[in-house]
A = this chain, B = another copy of it.
Amino acid sequence: MTPAAPAYRRLSVEERRSQLLEAALGLFAHRAPEDVSLDDVAEAAGVSRPLVYRYFPGGKQQLYEAALRSAAEELQQCFAEPPEGPLLDRLSRALDRYLGFVDQHDAGFSALLQGGSVVETSRTTAIVDGVRRAAAQHIFSHLGVTEPSSRLRMTVRMWITAVEAASLIWLDDDKEPPVDELRDWLVEQFVAVLSVTAGRDPQTAALVQALAADG
């Protein structure tokens, strides 16, 4: 027997859903949501448009939110880092993974964070905020802080926002400076802003001392 054409394998509901999300993520990663149609998603997944609607009856909005949730989970996995070794090395490794994600999802990442997208809603904003909160939680946990002072909390959240801004500018600037330099620069800024807050907050002062003795 000559080899047959690849069998049209029947996917389980979960597999099919994943396949559609994967195709959608691939498209949303490189185009603004308004420039992606359900036909594009169907074509990228090699299925019919009605099939996409069967899985996502809410249409593009629902598909976009599901894709965003899946991207948010992937992004949160970037932050996971074993609590071992010097703290700033852990931060560097997490930033490396985060910047890899930004690099890989460039246009979609920009469209999402820059706001004003037609598919942006209070739900999509909540998903993005969830990622920011998760990032802050990871940082506090690595710093060994269970109850951050309001000044420490503000400092960490400001730095996270600044990292986001840096990512968007980096994409705009054709990914300059090189990712390794950007990463080191962001780590240095983290130490610098914590050091400023240390002058106003004893909890942060203790952390900065520990960071200096670390590694």
Contacts and interface: CB of A to CB of B under 8 A. Distances in A.
Interface of A: 114-117, 120-126, 150-151, 153-154, 157-162, 164-166, 169-170, 173, 176-177, 181, 185, 188-189, 192-193, 195-197, 199-200
A158 B170 CA distance: 11
Given A154-B169, A157-B169, A158-B166, 5 more contacts: A154-B166, A154-B173, A162-B165, A177-B200, A192-B193
A177 B192 contact: no
A169 B129 CA distance: 13
B200 A196 contact: no
A114 B177 CA distance: 29
A124 B116 contact: yes
A193 B199 contact: no
Total identical chains: 2
Contacts of A115: 115-116, 120, 125
A192 B185 contact: no
A189 B185 contact: no
Contacts of A177: 150-151, 200
A150 B185 CA distance: 13
Contact of A193 (B121, B181, B193, B200): B193
A165 to B, nearest CB: 4
A176 B150 CA distance: 9
Contact of A162 (B116, B125, B158, B170): B158
A162 B159 contact: yes
Contacts of A153: 169
Nearest to A113: B115
